[in-house]
Chains A and B, each alone.
Chain A
Amino acid sequence: MKRRDFLKSVTGVAAGAMVPAPAIWSAAKADARSETLLIVSEGGPNNLDIHGVGTNVPGYEVSWNCYDRLISHEMKSGPGGVPYYDRDKFKPELAEEMNVGDMSVTFKLKKNAKFHDGAPVTAKDVKWSLDRAVSVGGFPTFQMSAGSLTKPEQFVVVDDNTVRVDFARKDRLTIPDLAVIVPCVVNSELVKKNASEKDPWGLEYTKQQTAGSGAYKVTRWTAGTEVIMERNDDWVGGPMPKVKRVIWRMVPQAGNRRALLERGDADISYELPNKDFQELKAAGKLDIVSLPFSNGIQYLGMNVTKPPFDNLKVRQAVAYAVPYQKIMDVVLFGLANPMFGAPASKVTEVAWPQPTKYFTDIDKAKALLTEAGYPNGFETTLSFDLGFAGINEPLCVLVQESLAQIGIKTTINKVPGANWRTELNKKEMPLYTNVFSGWLDYPEYFFYWCYHGNNSVFNTMSYKSPEMDKLIDGARAAAANKDMATYDTDVKGFVDLAFADIPRIPLYQPFVNVAMQKNVSGYQYWFHRRLDYRALVKA
């Protein structure tokens, strides 16, 4: 009996130590809790500065909330009444006024704007920051060039409070590109003090701390564990945020993130599996927001330079063999917009994304494959990015099953996340699934990256068609010159051509899913799909 007592007492001690813990909050801690927002997500930032080398997507969220830009977007009512950023309406953030001229735009800065260290925000800071964005190389420079912002000479200090941005050419995307995350305004004096000859832009310094004028500042950052941000009470970029402190914890296990939400310990989470979101939605204890990615599509791509996918009939056969609805139901649990099965009578819209007229028809697919000269099918590989295996793996298995029915035998090739980009760049994978979404929500922007013959990284199919290039270039020029009639014809033209030639098969428009407690409100959808703490309210 002694042994049994011993064992009992051991577990007893363990349980005893556990019992009293969470029940007791001291008064101060309870206060802190009501003013603090606890966010849990899978990954955290690797750099607090979006201009840094290899800053990851969570890093963008820090930049968005801790730095200001000259301008930002207004909100409009989106799907389901959720505030959704308005692509066409801008509001001032650091700027007080914006005057758009023919070949330049002038910004007057707010006079009372201050950086976190108390230094005033001047035109010099703005110029230095924009110079930095177009000079550091890598992603920020690339993003700036998407709006034809490429040279430091384009940014001119007029006086202490006025900056002018000269256009390199007429481009409809220049002003929207000034409202994305990259052209943020950095405290130039502070950063220059901490720069070195090897690192003239002070990237090492801003990697570790925020040096902006934004609504929040990072007070503690333990990489891979947590980020703590405090409100900047002197912020002038907009109405004072309600949340005083944001604690952002990394919880790698999706099941635990869900448990934290359901127990009411965490306030907001995203990056949960679709199945969990669907179940949480059904349970009704939490607010779930599901909104489509703006300008984003998950697709099945085919390499059109090599047989068998250089044959249009083969591509059409695949497009008729994809089990679209099954993917929607089984893989996504309905949390996506279908991009297939439009009625034959539907007129092409001047919009992107929009559904194709393809649907699952195995007999038709078989007939097309026979016509193409492959009555017995062929063998190929189907690749996907393991980094998003939760969606990609079941999706590929369904496609594999379906293709087997028309005689196409596929081997599934799982590519590790680190390797995926390299594989895409090689442009050798015959058949693969991938997702693309553009920050700037314009059809010609999407098509320029994904279908243009200049063969960018995202034209993963190596698709080249002079007719397509003419339409895309035409739409870009027409948009710059405000020739909307030509623009509309060109957009409809390239959408129709993309669906007729079908080098990539659109599957669905994915949703961004966010789950939050009932007492949290004010969620806004942004093109970058990360959280904007400034609008959030915790009751």
Chain B
Amino acid sequence: MLTMIGKRLMFAIPSLIGVVIVTFLLTRALPGDPAAYFAGPAANKEAIEQVRKKLGFDKPLIEQFFRYTADLAHGDFGNSLTTGQPVATEIRNRLPASAELTLLGLIVSIVIAIPLGILAATRPGSWIDHLCRVTTTAGVSLPVFFTGLVLVYIFYFQLGWSPAPLGRLDVFYSAPPAVTGFYLIDALIARDFETFRSALNQLILPAMTLAIFSLAPIARMTRASMLAVLSSDFVRTARASGLSPSTVIITYAFRNAMLPVITTLSMVFSFLLGANVLVEKVFAWPGIGSYAVEALISSDFAPVQGFVLTMAVMYVLLNLMIDILYGVIDPRVRLEG
């Protein structure tokens, strides 16, 4: 098992090197001149040149690249020009915000989608199957920012149930001492229940928004995979042997149907993490997606490179984790395979 993990990590190294080179070149190929942008609205040619020199963009590309990789080797991702902060610190601060939101959204989604998928599969063509189809289609076809805005409009603006969409905490609370970076967990560790409640309240609407969007792939995949398993021989045998329907469905069928669902989950998770920019924008969430997009808009190289690299590393780790999980769920899937 350990050698397997080691081997997998080794395989990841060439792709990470590739990612470093490609992001470096791609960011340089972006239209727009960061020096002109950051020299400000009233700059003349000399001022722009001064800024360019200060930022090191006057050096040849190859020298910039070597300086960048040397910095990377020291764990230095460079500085963001738009926010003025080191990229590594920013990503460290923002990744938990995105991860907390995405995880919660995913959990909500799983809690709704998996039972819905199972029920739809056990009674194909029934009202619950149609309900499943309608909810998932509606969820996936509504753009996330639209769902987010509608939720804000109803629950904050009209009903006043939800707190103001102002990020991770109400304005008058301060963040719990950072341990994991997840406010819910940190607040519990600090036994600060008021902050916990505030953080949870802030999370509900954005997490629901994400959940609605990600219902579709999970529910549909659960349904399809359950349908396939339910029509297989061992399920018929189990039924014929007089096992109760719940034992047949949960213990035998669902466990076997889980593999594709897990794969879908991992894909949905990594997709949401990078792609929930719009949700972050709507809820003023200080996450990693909005950070990367803002950097991209202002031709700010360092955060874009840092973001892509972090995402690449996360993908590698996530895939590894999924492969290990496979083995746990289904011993037939040998890791060595």
Which A residues contact B (CB, under 8 angstroms)? Answer: 3, 6-7, 10, 14-15, 17-19, 21-22, 29, 32-33, 36, 38, 40, 45-47, 52-57, 137-139, 141-143, 207-208, 222-226, 247, 249-253, 255-256, 259-260, 262-263, 265-266, 416-419, 421-422, 425, 456-458
Contact = CB atoms under 8 A, between A and B. Distances in A.
Interface of B is mostly: helix
Interface in B136-154: 149, 152-153
A36 B171 CA distance: 10
B42 A139 contact: yes
A252 to B, nearest CB: 5
A265 B42 contact: no
A103 B82 CA distance: 41
Contacts of A425: 36, 45, 48
Contacts of A6: 115
28 contacts: A3-B119, A14-B208, A17-B201, A18-B155, A18-B161, A46-B80, A46-B84, A137-B54, A139-B43, A142-B43, A222-B286, A224-B82, A224-B291, A247-B171, A250-B284, A251-B166, A252-B281, A253-B282, A256-B152, A256-B283, A256-B284, A259-B152, A260-B164, A416-B31, A419-B31, A419-B32, A422-B37, A425-B48
Interface of B: 30-34, 36-45, 47-48, 50-51, 54-55, 80-85, 90, 93, 108, 111-112, 115, 119, 128, 149, 152-153, 155-157, 160-167, 171-172, 197-198, 200-201, 204, 208, 281-284, 286, 290-291, 294, 297-299
B153 A259 contact: yes
A46 B295 CA distance: 12
A256 B42 contact: no
Contacts of B290: 224, 252
Nearest to B34: A418
A224 B294 CA distance: 10
A404 B34 CA distance: 36
A15 B155 CA distance: 9
Contacts of B44: 142, 456-457
B198 A137 contact: no
Contact of A252 (B153, B284, B299): B284
A22 B171 CA distance: 12
B153 to A, nearest CB: 7
Contacts of B284: 225, 249-253, 256
A38 B156 CA distance: 18
Closest 5 CB pairs of A and B: A54-B38, A223-B83, A418-B32, A139-B40, A137-B50
A138 B200 contact: no
A208 B79 CA distance: 13
A338 to B, nearest CB: 24
Contacts of B111: 10
Most buried by B among A40, A56, A250: A56
B3 to A, nearest CB: 43
B45 A52 contact: no
B39 A54 contact: yes
Most buried by B among A53, A142, A249, A263: A53
Contact of B90 (A141, A223, A226): A223
Contact of A14 (B32, B93, B171, B204): B204
A141 B44 CA distance: 11
Given A224-B291, A249-B171, A425-B36, A418 B204 contact: no
A141 B204 CA distance: 48
Given A10-B111, A416-B297, A263 B156 contact: yes
A3 B128 CA distance: 9
Given A22-B163, A52-B84, A142-B42, 4 more contacts: A10-B111, A17-B197, A249-B284, A417-B297
